[in-house]
Amino acid sequence: MRAIAKIIGKSLKHYRFSTSITVLSLGLAVGLFFSVFAIRDQADRAFTGSGSGFDAVMGARGSQVQLVLNAIFHLETSPGNIPWSLYEAVAEEDGVQLAIPYALGDNYYNYRVIGTIEELFEEDQEIGYPGLKLATGKLFNSDRMEAVVGSFAASQLGLKPGDTIKPYHGLSFDPNTQHEEEYLITGILSPTNSPLDRIILIPIEGVFRMGGHVLRGAGVEFDASKSADIPDKHKEVSAVLLKLSSPTTGFRLHQMINRQGKVATLAWPVGKVMGELFEKMGWMHKVLTLIAYLVLLVASASILASIYNTIEQRRRDIAILRALGARRMTIFWALLGECSLIATAGAGVGFLVYGFILQVTAIVLQSQTGVVLYLLQWNPIFLWGTVITIGMGIIAGILPAQEAYDTDVVSQLRS
């Protein structure tokens, strides 16, 4: 055993350059392999899990996916508005624990400004948004032009309580569309590692009254900025986030809104809607998975090529070792051991590469969606990916090990 270990150690040292290149290329492949699976799993969970804290979203008639992406993940454009009365009606339904209206239409340097109500911040975690609390400052007063900023948006924009902002019209930043209204920042939210970190919340009345905004809740245009009081019939909302007491309520609302109604759409359950989106993109996952396996296969073949190419150089040493009493199997196991060590080192480097890819992806994903990926989150792929890599390394070593095994000692020592 010690002899095998010594032979492996010497061989790795002697062929360190080619070994390093092989380990590096394998590490890149393994890192990619881990990333494809682990990032997909984390992203899947983030988008389809219950992280949003809400069971359903109600919005204008149209695509459920668009509704969820817009209201929960703040990614898509709004499919339109629904009258305030619908919000009030659904909020009164049995089994609806919480109904939070969202009014969208403005941004501040691409961070969405959303009008909502104070109930979003309900301290009772069973009712309010899970984990949503203020890190500094206080909640906005619904009667004032005040705002609360998500943690990521605040850090990126350098906002703190006491600062003021003037929102821009539309969901994409255009410097020529700034509103006149000035909002005072009263609080910064604690990080939730969710899309909420990327938004700015103001009282819903603020959105109604923003200059240039026109309300069409009653079917006719109503300019709220010039009115002291806004009749409910004119009000409209982009979406209503719903917390339901049971799936039965969800099913009933689904029947009522989607099947019998014609004005609104209920996206329920949120996780299932997003799951369907991911299922539609399943082919892409399959392609990526196939590519990841192929890359790993090619990288494993590089172990074979790397060792096999040096077999002729190794034959002299193999013959000497055999002449000194090394058994054929000692040589065979030494070669296999070397390949498995290279594969193990490749897997180790793969973790570093994965860490790098995940960090870069996490930065991009958080800035785009607010969804956070965790570097240290365990994924079974780390275990069986490592086992596969080492297994492939060993398989790749069989051919060169067999060549070494078959080395003709006498003819080698004669030459």
Q: Could you tell me the smallest distance in angstroms from the CB atom of residue 26 to other proteins?
A: 23
Q: Could you tell me the smallest distance in angstroms from the CB atom of residue 3 to other proteins?
A: 4
Q: Which of 6, 138, 166, 286 binds other proteins (CB under 8 A)?
A: 6
Site string for other proteins, 106-145 (x = CB under 8 A): ----------------------------------------
Instruction: Fill in the amino acid letter for 303.
Output: I
Site string for other proteins, 290-319 (x = CB under 8 A): --------------------------xx-x
Q: Could you tell me the smallest distance in angstroms from the CB atom of residue 308 to other proteins?
A: 19
286 binds other proteins per the rule CB under 8 A: no
Please choose, out of 78-86, 285-293, 323-331, 342-350, the segment that lies near other proteins by the rule CB under 8 A: 323-331
Please choose, out of 1-9, 99-107, 141-149, 217-225, the segment that lies near other proteins by the rule CB under 8 A: 1-9
Size of the site for other proteins (CB under 8 A): 25
Q: Could you tell me the smallest distance in angstroms from the CB atom of residue 38 to other proteins?
A: 39
Question: For residue 287, what are the contacts with CB-CB under 8 A and spacing of at least 6?
Answer: none
Give the containing element (helix H, strand E) for 202: strand 200-203
Bridge partners for 98 per DSSP: 243
28-87 binders of other proteins (CB under 8 A) = none
Q: Could you tell me the smallest distance in angstroms from the CB atom of residue 328 to other proteins?
A: 7
Is residue 134 helix, strand or coil? strand
Looking at the Cβ atoms of 158 and 325, the one nearer to other proteins is: 325
Q: Which of 290, 294, 323, 387 binds other proteins (CB under 8 A)?
A: 323
Please choose, out of 8-16, 30-38, 158-166, 360-368, the segment that lies near other proteins by the rule CB under 8 A: 8-16
Please choose, out of 86-94, 205-213, 294-302, 406-414, the segment that lies near other proteins by the rule CB under 8 A: 406-414
| DSSP of 211-276 | TT--B-TTSS-B-GGG-SS--GGG-EESEEEEEES-HHHHHHHIIIIIII-SSEEEE-SHHHHHHH
11 binds other proteins per the rule CB under 8 A: yes
Q: Which residues of 241-268 are buried (b: 16+ CB within 10 A; e: fewer)?
A: bbbbeeeebbeebbeebbeeeeebbbbb
Looking at the Cβ atoms of 50 and 309, the one nearer to other proteins is: 309
Residues across the chain: 415
Q: Could you tell me the smallest distance in angstroms from the CB atom of residue 334 to other proteins?
A: 11
Which has the closest alpha carbon to 163: 200, 122, 121, 114? 200
Looking at the Cβ atoms of 329 and 375, the one nearer to other proteins is: 329
Q: How far apart are CA 265 and CA 253, in angstroms?
A: 10
Site string for other proteins, 13-32 (x = CB under 8 A): xx------------------
Looking at the Cβ atoms of 260 and 415, the one nearer to other proteins is: 415
Burial of 364 (0-12, 13-18, 19+ CB in 10 A): exposed
Question: What are the φ/ψ torsions at residue 149 (nearest 5 degrees)?
Answer: -115, 140
Q: How far apart are CA 381 and CA 387, in angstroms?
A: 9
Q: Which residues of 281-294 are buried (b: 16+ CB within 10 A; e: fewer)?
A: eeeeeeebeeebee
Residue 336: both structure tokens together: 């296999």
Q: Which of 190, 225, 289, 330 binds other proteins (CB under 8 A)?
A: 330
Q: Could you tell me the smallest distance in angstroms from the CB atom of residue 336 to other proteins?
A: 18
Q: How far apart are CA 282 and CA 294, in angstroms?
A: 18
Looking at the Cβ atoms of 13 and 259, the one nearer to other proteins is: 13
Which has the closest alpha carbon to 303: 333, 337, 332? 337
320 binds other proteins per the rule CB under 8 A: yes
Looking at the Cβ atoms of 156 and 412, the one nearer to other proteins is: 412
Q: Could you tell me the smallest distance in angstroms from the CB atom of residue 405 to other proteins?
A: 11
Q: What is the CA radius of gyration of the chain?
A: 31
358 binds other proteins per the rule CB under 8 A: no
Q: Could you tell me the smallest distance in angstroms from the CB atom of residue 388 to other proteins?
A: 31
Q: How far apart are CA 276 and CA 146, in angstroms?
A: 38
The CA-atom distances, in angstroms, between 97 and each of 92, 197, 241 are 9, 24, 11
Looking at the Cβ atoms of 259 and 414, the one nearer to other proteins is: 414
Which residues contribute to the site for other proteins (CB under 8 A)?
2-3, 6, 10-11, 13-14, 316-317, 319-330, 409-410, 413-414
